[in-house]
Chain A
Amino acid sequence: MTSLIRALSSTIGKKLLMGITGLALCGFLVVHLSGNLLLYVGAEQYDAYAHALHSQTILLPIAETGLFLLLILHIALGVITARENWAARDVRYEKKKSKVVETTSKGAPNVASKWMFLTGIIVLMFLLVHLGHFKLGVISPGDPDATEFANAARILSQGFTQLVYLAGTLVLGFHLLHGFQSAFQSLGINHPKYTKGIKIFGFIFAVTIALGFASFPVLGLMGYFSGNTGSPPAAESVEAPPAETPPG
């Protein structure tokens, strides 16, 4: 057991744990996005989902505790490795230029990899705001009797909040752009047959998660929740206006 702890606290071990916790958190993002997409379906369905989730008095606290532990571990390891990595280069270069060719499949999107700590911190700050809104209800608390949909509609209709949510979700996507495929390399999964597929899937995953979550503040920006009545606007108003006839 002590040898296992010693091994997991080595540079390689810490990156293994970063990878595992990161991928597990990716799994949570999928579930979270799936649930949130019910905002598109309708207030009743969204409220029914929220009610079903919150009525899990045993499973929900267990899942939330697990999620919290994953998150804490991921953040703590991120901070520890970032500190060690900074210390590993005590004198900075006067000039530094990448030799990675961005267009090659080998080089893939390597820009995101240089900013993992910063993007991680930004995502954490966004997460704290998000929890303050929806979990703890300490930031702009609303009517306690309002439905979950009405609450979400109210928060997502606030101008500044929309910008924070938009920025937070897009930065999350940027973090995932490197994080998803990097986790596999840290786990030792690098194979001529699969690595390219993992990288492509990671790219699609990051873009899907970012655009999926970013669509909610965009909905708010576009006035989807205006009215703030707890139900989406009538179907006909959501429909696109008839296509304009081409000029001439």
Chain B
Amino acid sequence: MSELNLTLKVWRQAAHDAEGEFKTYRLNGVSTEMSFLEMLDVLNEQLIAENEEPVAFDHDCREGICGMCSLMINGQAHGPDNETTTCQLHMRRFRDGDTIVIEPWRARAFPVVRDLVVDRSALDRVIAAGGYVSVNCGSAQDANALPVPKQDADKAMDAAACIGCGACVAACKNASAMLFVGAKVSQMALLPQGKPERTARVLNMVARMDAEGFGACTNTAECEAACPAAISLSNIARLNREYFKAVLTSPR
């Protein structure tokens, strides 16, 4: 086990409507076995000891499945690793003497709440517009009572891996939520339970996405590279197909 001495350049903003700025902190003796969030915990202990406000950041499960953690680390969403959330990023990925720039997700649809915490409820409102199945499912039915081809089940499962962290929006040059919406539309469109509301779902979710102020898709594939859940760009193509189909066939 070795230790790192780091310089942290952290975005500090007291409140949504307050002026923000970068503040530089020295943090010594960081264990390479810490996660990135544990490193921030140590920073906050240090700040509290110095009678300063600790840095606010989002986190919850710290095991890479809840989608709560975020952070733009040296210009990369969730840091330098592929298919990794910030909480699963470890300090061994950094070198002694490194300067690490830590910023919140930047998007008009994700206003900064405080420091590194942004309000991602725009994604929740997109889900509320149609990202669900509104039939009462009851208790689990017999296996294979509803035949689903294995390939479709796999694709739906891959899309459902989205944890809604917003890294796709953060990494996109247009702050577009197409990968998120693509995954959420795909997981339903691929399965029989999602078919009845398929048309209205995609129309409503895309309308909500646009209303929230997310950008359009330039197909740069930055979202796919930044996604901790490895959501594929093919979900965006499926979203496009679902949308055109819905536009042409919807009764209204």
Contacts and interface: CB of A to CB of B under 8 A. Distances in A.
Interface of A: 3-4, 7-8, 10-16, 81, 84-85, 87-101, 106-108, 110, 113-114, 116, 178, 181-182, 185-190
Given A11-B216, A96-B75, 13 more contacts: A10-B206, A81-B216, A89-B173, A90-B108, A95-B72, A99-B80, A107-B225, A110-B222, A113-B219, A186-B217, A186-B240, A188-B240, A190-B234
Contacts of A8: 247
Nearest to B20: A91
A88 B108 contact: yes
Contacts of A110: 220-222
A100 B216 contact: no
Contact of B220 (A96, A100, A101): A100
Contacts of B74: 95, 97
A12 B243 contact: yes
A94 B233 contact: no
B106 A99 contact: no
A12 B174 contact: no
Given A85-B173, A107-B221, A7 B243 contact: yes
Given A88-B175, A99-B77, A12 B108 contact: no
Q: B interface, by DSSP: helix, strand, loop or mixed?
A: mixed
B75 A97 contact: yes
Contacts, number: 147
Given A81-B216, A85-B218, A110-B220, A16 B174 contact: no
B37 interface: no
B218 A116 contact: yes
A81 B237 CA distance: 18
Contact of B225 (A4, A10, A98): A98
A2 to B, nearest CB: 10
Contacts of B240: 12, 15-16, 185-188
Interface stretch (B24-32, B135-143, B207-215): B207-215
B224 interface: yes
B125 to A, nearest CB: 16
Given A100-B220, A182-B218, A190-B237, A88 B109 contact: yes
B75 A93 contact: yes
Contacts of A114: 173, 220
Contacts of B94: none
A85 B174 contact: yes
Contact of A100 (B225, B236, B237): B225
Nearest to B243: A12
B222 A99 contact: yes
B247 A3 contact: yes
A187 B239 CA distance: 10
